Amino acid sequence: MDIFILFIVLIVGMFAGFMNVLAGGGSLLTLPLLIFIGLPSALANGTNRIAVMAQNLTAIASFRKNGIFHWKLGIMLAIPAVIGSVIGASLAIEISDDVFNRILSIVMIIVLITIVVKPQRWFRNASVKLTPTKVIILLFAFLLIGSYGGFIQAGIGFIIIIVLSLTTGLNLVHINSLKVFVVAIYMASSLMVFILNDQVHWGYGIVLAIGNSTGAYIASKFAVQKGEKFVQSMMIIIVVAMSIKLWFT
């Protein structure tokens, strides 16, 4: 592995981790980067999951330390998500690079719009009782969420926040604790699919995970409103440029 490339992966990983804390959507940078440095789409997809896994495990520990840990509801939602993630990951491995890159290009723009518009703010502090009907809806929703997460993962946090806001009545702090718990569980199952198919570059993955975790830690210390706006502005420019390049790659 080239030292310069490793350095770039580390720096972008740090920026992605910083962005995930302040705005979200870090995989919109790391996944295309891994493709641009020469990894096939499936290999890049599997490698990116090491960093996502590390970040979510760190977040779970933080939420538990602060007494926010809905493990029963989390496991209930994780079961269909795991099933979906295996399906999605299997599809991601089989699909051609050209098709995957174009799908990712479109997803990047859609998620970017979601990050800027922030539709989750419209659902805050909703008072919704978790009825049996809503439980069924949640189980089906997380089957689809797991399928998407297993396939690409980028921007999945926003989808989970909106779904849980509409159905559980929990505030965003508790919703985020559920989000990282469920994602960590289904991420393990989807990552296993990539590992079994030899679609993980451990060198890049570990460096990316270190960068991601470092950036998240820095952002947690310096999370201010000005920082979020700056990151989002930079993200718009970078993601649009990357999505265009992916489409014509």
Question: Could you report the per-residue pLDDT of 79-96, keeping only the tens digit for each?
Answer: 999 999 999 999 999 998
Q: Helix (H, G, I), strand (E, B), or coil: what is residue 80?
A: helix
**Nearest CA to 115 among 241, 246, 239, 245?**
239
Quick one: pLDDT at residue 28? 82
* Residue 217, amino acid: Y
Residue 204 has a CB neighbour count (10 Å cut-off) of 26
Mean pLDDT to the nearest integer, 110-134: 68
Q: To which H or E segment does residue 23 belong?
A: none
Quick one: pLDDT at residue 108? 79
Say what the pTM is.
0.80
Quick one: pLDDT at residue 239? 67
- Name which residue leads in pLDDT, 110 or 50: 50
- Nearest-5° angle of CA 97, CA 112, CA 243? 35
- Among 36-50, 153-167, 179-193, where is mean pLDDT lowest? 153-167
Buried b (16+ CB within 10 A) or exposed e, 168-194: bbbebebbbbbbbbbbbbbbbbbbbbb
Decide: residue 224, CB within 10 A, 0-12 exposed, 13-18 middle, 19+ buried: exposed
**Nearest CA to 100 among 45, 145, 29?**
45
- Name which residue leads in pLDDT, 102 or 116: 102
Q: Which residues fall within 8 angstroms of residue 172, CB to CB, at 6 or more apart?
A: 120, 124, 161, 165
The predicted-structure confidence for 161-195, as pLDDT tens digits, reads as follows 888 888 887 777 788 788 889 998 999 999 999 99
